[in-house]
Amino acid sequence: MEIGQIVFVVVLLLTFGFAFKKYKELISTIFLAKPVKVDGPVFERLKNMLLVAFGQKKMFQNFLPAIFHLFIYVAFLITQIKLIEIILDGVTGSHRIFAEPLGGFYTFVVSSIEILSVLAFVATLIFLWRRNLLKIPRFNKAEMTSWPKLDANIILFGELVLLFGIFSYNGADIVLQQRGMEGYPDTGPLAVSAWAGPILFGGLEAEALMAWERAGWWIHILAVLGFIVYLPYSKHLHIFFAFPNTYLAKLKPRGAMENMPEIMEEVKSMMGLAPEGDIATDMDEIPEFGAKDIFDLDRINLLNAYSCTECGRCTAACPANLTGKKLSPRKILMDIRDRSEEVMQKLKSGNSEYIREDLRESAKKLSPENFDDGKSLFDYISQEELHACTTCNACVEACPVLIDPLEPILKMRRYEILTQSSGPADWTPMFTSLENNGSPWQMSDARDAWTEEDED
C-alpha cells in the first residue's frame, strides 16, 4: 500500500469515526424528549418524504430561489456517484476505476455532473449575493446574529472550494489524457473540462499537470469530508434530517391541537360524565401540564428544531412578526435547539451540581431523570414571544420541510397557564368565564338558558 493510500484511509476513518460519534450524540439529544407514537398510513408518510424532502415540493412556493436551490441540490445528489469512485480510488490506489468498465456511460455521468456543477456555481454566487448584499429582510432578523450568518456563508464558500477541486481535477486530467500519459484512462469528451482543461492547463508541463490533478482530487474529497464533520454544527444538518422529519411529520389537520387526557378526565368528573372508578382521588401531587423544558417536549419537536433550515419563511409569513411583535417562529426553533445542546453538554460533563437538589444524596450520577440546572426554555423564549402567537398556522404552512413551530409554543403556553397559573392579565377574565359559565363571555345567564325560554 502506497503512502497516499495510507493517508487517505486514515483520514477517511478519522472522519467517519468523529462523524459517527457526533451524530450519535445528536440522536441521543433528541431522545431526551418524550417518546411519541407515530401512527397513520405509512404510504402517506412516504409520500410526504418523497415529495417534500426528496422532491423539494414546498420550496417552489418561492419559485426563483427554488430553481437556484434545485441546481445545488441536484448537483449534490448526482455528485455522490463520483464521490463513490473517488473513495474507491483512494482506498485501492487506482485512478478513475469506473472509466473503462462504463465507457460512454461514464462520459455521460461525469459530463452531467460538470454541467450541474456549473449551474451550482452560478446558484452559489447568487445566494452569496442575496445573503450579503441584497439584504433580504428574513435573512436579517434579530436572531440572525453573527454565527447564523457565518454558518450560511461557510457552506456557500465550501461549495466554491468543492467546485474548484472537481474542475481542477478533471481539467488537468483531460490534458494528461490528451498527451497519452500512462495511468490516465480515457474519459471521453467531458462537457466542460474537454474545452476548459486545455485553456486553463494546456501550457503546463507534465509534472505540474499531475500536481494540479492530485491537488484537485484532494481538495474535492477533503471538502466533502469537511462537510460531513461540519454538518452536525450547522443549520445544513437538514440535508440529512429533512427526510426523517418529513416522514414523521404529524398527519393531523393543521390547527388540530393535542388533547390532554388529564384535563379531559378532570372536566368529565366535574360534569359528572366520568364512569365510576375513573375519578382521581389522590390530589397530593398536582400534575404538570404543557412544557417547561426540552424533557417535556416530544422527540418530533426536537427533530423539528434540528431540521430547521433557518430560511426564515416561517417568520416572513408570521402576522405577529409582520406587525412588529417580538415573536419569530424561526427563533423559537433555534432556541429549542440551543437549549437542547446546552442540556446535552451539561449531561456529558457528569457534574453533580446539575443533579436535582432533593436527589443529590441518593443519586449515584447525573442523568436526564434527575437533571436540573435551574434553567428552562423560558430562559430562552420570553412570555412576550409566546403571547404574541395568534395560532394561525402561517408558520406551519410556510415551512419547506414540514416543521411545526406552533406546537412547542402551545405547549409552553399550557405550562404557563395551567401549571404556573400565570399568563397575560387580559386573558384572566376569559379563563374565569370559561370555568364559571362555560363560555368566554361574562354573562349572568347560563350559556344554555335560551333553550329553556317559552316560545311566544
DSSP 156-185: HHHHHHHHHHHHHHHHHHHHHHHTT-TT--
Range in 16-25, 60-69, 235-244, 256-265 with the lowest mean pLDDT? 256-265
- CA 419 – CA 405 distance, rounded (Å): 21
- CA 143 – CA 209 distance, rounded (Å): 47
Q: Is 371 helix (H, G, I), strand (E, B) or coil?
A: strand
86 has pLDDT over 60: yes
Which class for 5: exposed (0-12), middle (13-18), buried (19 or more C-beta within 10 A)? middle
User: In this predicted model, what pLDDT tens digit does every residue of 33-52 receive, in sequence order?
Assistant: 999 988 889 999 999 999 99
User: In this predicted model, what pLDDT tens digit does every residue of 141-195 receive, in sequence order?
Assistant: 989 988 888 998 999 999 999 999 999 999 999 999 999 898 899 999 999 999 9
Angle of helix 3-30 relative to helix 206-230, nearest 10 degrees?
A: 20
- CA 18 – CA 270 distance, rounded (Å): 56
Q: For residue 429, name the pLDDT band (cuts at 50, 70, 90).
A: confident
Q: For residue 339, name the pLDDT band (cuts at 50, 70, 90).
A: very high
282 has pLDDT over 80: no
Sign of CA dihedral 176, 182, 188, 191: negative
Residue with cell 430562552: 380
228 in Cβ contact with 15 (< 8 Å): yes
Query: φ, ψ for residue 443 (rounded to 5)?
Result: -125, 145
Look over the chain and give the mean of its residue pLDDT values, rounded to a whole number: 89
Q: Quote the pLDDT of residue 284.
A: 52
Please identify, in words, the CATH class of the domain defined by 287-435.
mainly alpha
Calculated CA dihedral for residues 330, 73, 224, 248, nearest 10 degrees: 50
Spans of all domains in the chain: 3-17+62-239, 287-435
